[in-house]
Amino acid sequence: MSAPIVKAEMLIRKPAADVFNAFVDPLITTKFWFTKSSGRLEAGKRVRWDWEMYGVGDDVDVKAIEPNKRIVFEWSFPKSNLVEMTFAHHAKGTLVSITNSGLRGDDVIALALDLTQGWNLVLAAAKAWLEHGVDLKLVADKAPDHNVEGWDR
């Protein structure tokens, strides 16, 4: 049995340059996904992402950047795996596709299901922020009983 590959897609009704920038610029990404970052995504660079509401973080190794088209990174959350984000022009905006591969572990099916849900929440949160300027707190509210005590943003 081969490891599952996770895929999530969402149309965001904004130009590809705006949507792409939202994922590489932590000043924007922190509005809908993680709460803190050590810097902008650039090919060959390692950045740190933190989800302060959960008291967790991870280092991300950026493998490739194609402006307004593609981001590829490797991270260890929850175990070393590869993520590819593509940004395709669509008549109504930008179709964002996220593929997460290289999953492994004892319960890889449960991991794939959790990642599928997580990526869909990230895309929905990005859509709400970019199209309407609304932070739905989807990532923080996915597991509110796991939020760090006293955290509320």
Answer whether 0.75 is exceeded by the pTM. Answer: yes
Encode pLDDT of 116-151 as tens digits.
999 999 999 999 999 999 999 999 999 888 888 876
Confidence of residue 78 (pLDDT cuts 50, 70, 90): low
Which two three-digit tokens encode residue 134? 């609304």
Q: Domains of the chain by range and CATH?
A: 6-144 (3.30.530.20)
pLDDT > 70? residue 153 = no
Cα(143)–Cα(124) distance, integer angstroms:
16
> Quick one: average pLDDT of 19-42?
98
Confidence of residue 104 (pLDDT cuts 50, 70, 90): confident
Listed in order, strand segments (DSSP E) in the chain are 6-12, 36-37, 46-51, 56-66, 70-75, 81-90, 93-101
> Exposed, middle or buried, 52 (CB in 10 Å: 0-12/13-18/19+)?
middle
